[in-house]
Amino acid sequence: MESSTVYVDKGIELAMSYGPKLLLAIIVLFAGLWVIRGFNRILIREMEKNNIEPSLQKFLSNFISISLRILLLISVASMIGIATTSFIAVLGAAGLAVGLALQGSLANFAGGVLILLFKPYKVGDVIEAQGFLGTVNEIQVFYTIIKSFDNKTIVIPNGNLSNNSITNYSTEKTRRADMTFGIGYDDDIQKAKEVIKSLVSDDDRILEEPAPSVVVSELADSSVNFSVKVWCNSADLWPVYFDMQEKVKMNFDSEGISIPYPQTDVHIHQKEVK
């Protein structure tokens, strides 16, 4: 009987000692979970308002929610009186080991987050990076997938893309087409220039502003070269470029203006032997 009384007394003592702490910890736990859920909803709403990629929205919201819940559980355990120092040390050591083992993957992940946040390119853009040129087909957290113009699928790690130069051909609405046409030294420069200017002015795809430029740019070894720079909508760049090559050749031929082959004149001097 006496032993049971001792147990009862111990139970009452423990309840008096840990009861308020446990009750407070439970209240803090449920209140914290409620706050985390509300914060997560606000975070998702703000990300949607700022047009952040859906894949990144889901990842960030889950990552932040899990991190906050872990911190909440550690705080609640500390309130009850559970020693959390060793637990935090174990988590830190495990995180360091995982980070070292997955160093390359983490670099790609960080690169993917930066790309999705700052948007140096988006799906559908034509980019040149890491020696590859193509259309962005998909942006994942670890990799970017592009399709080359001959329909090859190219997978590039986001770590490389975020730390190196990227040329985005789709950012601007207009682009400049740079072309060079050569004529013979015996041909009429003014006549050739007028032919090119006429072709430029007749093409409705070429913009008036900025004004087209047709100038003699070089007295080369075999030809007098014209530098032609015209502006057009980005979608019209290559059609304009290729059409101008054909039209200039045909009009030069009809006007009797030559496009010389590369050639070298060799002069032989015979020395008289006495």
Q: Are 234 and 172 in contact (CB under 8 A)?
A: yes
- Residues 121-135, mean pLDDT to the nearest whole number: 89
pLDDT, one tens digit per residue, over 195-216 is: 999 999 999 999 999 999 999 9
Q: What is the pLDDT of residue 228?
A: 96
CA atoms within 13 A on the CB side of 158: 24
Judged against a pLDDT cut of 60, whether residue 14 lies above it is answered with no
**Distance between CA atoms of 212 and 132, rounded to whole angstroms?**
30
Calpha distance 70→92 (Å, rounded): 13
Give the pLDDT score at 68.
82
Q: Which pLDDT value is given to residue 248? A: 95
In tens, the pLDDT along 58-73 reads 667 777 777 788 788 7
Q: Does position 247 have pLDDT exceeding 70, yes or no?
A: yes
**Tell me, what's the pLDDT at 96?**
60
Distance CA 45, CA 59 (A): 14
CA dihedral defined by 89, 90, 95, 101, rounded to 10 degrees? 130
Domains in the chain and their CATH numbers?
2-101 (1.10.287.1260), 120-168 (2.30.30.60), 174-254 (3.30.70.100)
- When pLDDT is cut at 50, 70 and 90, the band that residue 94 belongs to is low
Q: Residue 203's pLDDT is what?
A: 92
> According to the model, what pLDDT value does residue 177 have?
94
| Per-residue pLDDT at 102 exceeds 60 | no
pLDDT at 33: 84
Q: How many CA atoms lie within 13 A of 164 on its CB side?
A: 13
Question: Tens digits of per-residue pLDDT, 16-54?
Answer: 555 666 777 778 778 888 888 888 888 878 877 777 666
CB 142 within 8 A of CB 109: yes
pLDDT at 229 over 70: yes
What's the rounded Cα separation, in Å, for the pair 154 and 147? 6
